[in-house]
């Protein structure tokens, strides 16, 4: 096995032709024999560069609309032959197989095809067969063959050739990258296929992504971390444009994603703002303007808002920008921002501003995954929406129109709060958030306690939860949680229902003279 590998013959077959003409010209100038296919051959030949057509090498024409052109022993034998193996050398000589030292292949644009919603038949035609086969053959035989799947690798390979050849460690990395590419490609195909035919419980499930950024560290400084983009065409942190600010950390991205998914629950016609800390909202509100909504959201928990993430469901204007920069914030994310707002935010040079172009669709489907030791938990996205549900009033008293609007807002927020989740809302704004407690009663009391602190910070007496409504992400197993909410000042409750003790909880609500609504849909978030 050579440590440094010269290249005498290269096979070039690419869909993305970025940089190919210049690369082929450089290879030819270095004395490399070029072999190519279809459009790549036309491009290279059109530049006046000497190049053999693949049909000349194999002795067979491209056939079946291009489905068969490189699936031939003279291609794969030339890639897979172990050069210093006598048996392999004898087979090459007996069958007229010449060695291929470099393969440059990138694949039919399958991911782009499904992203634009192509038909089933068109999508099938954009599944590359010959390309992945050549990549895998070349990568397997990286001891003797260099494989390139990314135009970004043209320059370093040329640089190596100009000083004697491609070193083994470079060939190893290129081979690893090649297998990662074919794995990601097959992952996209299998997931599309499963979705297209409704085969959710397909026996093998894979997820893939393309490296966007290696981060300084993960959740903690001793952890390695990187951000990979899946290519899903969903507005959010992966598709957003960062207008300003320092690089986003692992925790920034996680929290910003949580913030943007939450704010996307709200109709863009109604200004709404969410403030997130450690992936949980510490304040969410709607208002007459984004400024109004922001100030209402901030009032819920101004202490926790320090160093948080702010998400808005509309275009940031100068007014709300002026208010937001008054406290230390890590990230602001919104669909868009005016030039004036961008200039105001720019006065805080480390503050990251992300613009997504649109809100995410809270009703869209898709899969989410969570790693376990030795496995993955995969589920469909929680796309249940309170506005689509048939709500059932289960108490003698029905909520007023104003209470019902607040109840719906509270449940939209509860869907994005770590369970056990209890959310108090009053006049279109959260006034108490209880998240992640082991007991639902504890979440109820934590949210109340925080509302007292927020009232004190605003120079008020009592608790902000007086006269509020409350949402629970799951049923109250006993009446104690509901009674704690009533003690905090709640006048109406929304919850999924479904407990064996529903009748007792309903009776407790009737005894206290409050309204209660069942949704029939739980929103656990772990």
Question: How far, in Å, CA of 229 to CA of 210, rounded?
Answer: 5
Mean pLDDT (whole number) for 206-224:
93
Sequence-distant (≥ 6) Cβ neighbours of residue 119 within 8 angstroms: none
Lowest mean pLDDT among 58-67, 137-146, 270-279, 498-507: 58-67
pLDDT, tens digit (0-9, with 9 covering 90-100), for 357-385 = 999 999 998 889 999 999 989 999 999 99
> Among residues 140, 195, 397, 504, which one is catalytic?
140
**Is residue 463 within 8 Å of residue 487, measured between CB atoms?**
no
* Sequence-ordered list of residues with C-beta below 8 angstroms from that of 231, at least 6 positions apart, any chain: 111, 115, 188, 209, 210
Which tokens go with 404? 């019902």
Helix, strand, or coil (residue 65):
coil
- pLDDT tens-digit profile of 7-66? 999 999 999 999 999 999 999 999 999 999 888 999 999 999 999 988 777 766 675 666
The two three-digit tokens of residue 22, written as one number: 């210049």
Residues in the chain: 526
Instruction: Give dist(CA 464, CA 370) in Å, integer.
Output: 36
Per residue in 448-479, pLDDT (tens digit) is 999 999 999 999 999 999 999 999 999 999 99
- For tokens 């034998």, the residue is 77
d(CA 275, CA 323) in angstroms, rounded, equals: 13
What the block records as the tokens of 511 is 């005894």
* 296-307 pLDDT per residue, tens: 999 999 999 999
Annotated catalytic residue 74: no
Residue whose pair of structure tokens reads 């100038």 in the numeric block: 29
Report pLDDT for 86: 87
Cα–Cα distance between 237 and 261 in angstroms, integer? 10
The percent of residues in the chain predicted with pLDDT above 90, rounded, is 82
Residue 236 DSSP SS3: coil
pLDDT of residue 70: 67
Give the mean model confidence (pLDDT) for residues 334-345.
98
Does the active-site annotation cover 278? yes
Nearest to 497 by CA among 517, 475, 478: 475
CA 496 distance to own-chain centroid? 29
pLDDT at residue 172 greater than cutoff 70? yes
Q: What's the confidence (pLDDT) of residue 88?
A: 87
| pLDDT for the residue 83 | 84
| pLDDT the model gives residue 55 | 77
Q: What is the pLDDT of residue 416?
A: 97
Confidence of residue 82 (pLDDT cuts 50, 70, 90): confident
pTM: 0.88
- Catalytic hit among 278, 348, 397, 504: 278
Mean pLDDT of 94-123: 90
Considering the chain, what percentage of its residues have pLDDT values greater than 70?
A: 97
Residue 147: strand pairing partners: 103
Distance, in Å, from the CA atom of 500 to the CA atom of 505, rounded to the nearest integer, reads 10
Q: What's the pLDDT tens digit per position in 475-507? A: 999 999 999 999 999 999 999 999 999 999 999
Say how many C-beta atoms besides its own lie within 10 A of residue 84's C-beta.
11
Question: Stretch 509-526: mean pLDDT, rounded?
Answer: 96
pLDDT tens string 385-431: 999 999 999 999 999 999 999 999 999 999 999 999 999 999 999 99
Q: Is the pLDDT of residue 295 over 80?
A: yes
Cα separation of 408 and 471, whole Å? 8
């Amino acid at each position: 096995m050579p440590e440094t590998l010269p290249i005498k013959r290269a096979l070039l077959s690419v869909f993305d032709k970025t940089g190919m003409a210049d690369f082929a010209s450089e290879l030819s100038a270095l004395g490399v024999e070029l072999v190519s296919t279809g459009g790549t051959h036309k491009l290279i030949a059109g530049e006046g560069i000497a190049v053999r057509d693949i049909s000349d090498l194999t002795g067979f024409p491209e056939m079946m609309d291009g489905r068969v052109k490189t699936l031939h022993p003279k291609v794969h034998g030339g890639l897979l032959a172990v050069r210093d193996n006598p048996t392999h050398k004898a087979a090459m000589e007996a069958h007229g197989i010449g060695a291929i030292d470099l393969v440059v292949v990138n694949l039919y644009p399958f991911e782009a095809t499904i992203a634009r919603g192509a038909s089933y038949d068109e999508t099938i035609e954009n599944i590359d067969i010959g390309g992945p086969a050549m990549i895998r053959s070349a990568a397997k035989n990286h001891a003797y063959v260099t494989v390139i799947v990314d135009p970004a690798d043209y320059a370093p390979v040329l640089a190596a050739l100009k000083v004697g050849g491609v070193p083994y460690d470079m060939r190893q990395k290129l081979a690893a990258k090649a297998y990662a590419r074919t794995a990601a490609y097959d992952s996209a195909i299998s997931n599309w296929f499963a979705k297209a035919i409704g085969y959710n419980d397909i026996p093998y499930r894979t997820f893939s992504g393309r490296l966007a950024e290696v981060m300084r560290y993960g959740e903690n400084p001793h952890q390695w971390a990187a951000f990979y983009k899946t290519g899903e065409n969903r507005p959010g942190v992966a598709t957003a444009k960062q207008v300003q600010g320092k690089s986003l950390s692992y925790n920034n991205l996680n929290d910003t994603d949580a913030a943007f998914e939450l704010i996307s629950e709200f109709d863009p016609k109604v200004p709404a703002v969410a403030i997130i800390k450690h992936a949980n909202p510490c304040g969410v509100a709607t208002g007459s303007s984004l400024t109004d909504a922001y100030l209402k959201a901030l009032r819920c928990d101004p202490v926790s808002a320090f160093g948080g993430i702010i998400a808005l469901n509309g275009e940031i204007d100068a007014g709300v920008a002026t208010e937001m920069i008054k406290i230390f914030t890590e990230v602001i994310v919104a669909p868009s921002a005016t030039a004036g707002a961008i200039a105001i935010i720019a006065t805080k040079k480390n503050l990251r501003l992300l613009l997504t172009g649109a809100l995410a669709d809270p009703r869209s489907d898709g899969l989410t995954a969570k790693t376990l030791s030795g496995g993955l938990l995969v589920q469909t996205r929680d796309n249940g929406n309170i506005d689509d549900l048939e709500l059932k009033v289960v108490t003698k008293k029905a909520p007023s129109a104003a209470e019902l609007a607040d109840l719906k807002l509270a449940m939209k927020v509860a869907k994005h709060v770590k369970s056990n989740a209890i959310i108090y809302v009053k006049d279109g704004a959260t006034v108490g958030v209880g998240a992640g407690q082991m007991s639902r009663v504890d979440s109820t009391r934590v949210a109340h306690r925080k509302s007292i602190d927020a009232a004190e910070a605003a120079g008020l007496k009592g608790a902000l939860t007086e006269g509020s409504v409350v949402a629970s992400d799951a049923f109250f197993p006993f009446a104690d949680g509901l009674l704690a909410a009533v003690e905090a000042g709640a006048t109406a409750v929304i919850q999924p229902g479904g407990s064996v003790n529903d009748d007792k909880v309903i009776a407790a609500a009737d005894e206290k003279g409050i309204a209660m609504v069942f949704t029939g849909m739980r929103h656990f978030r772990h």
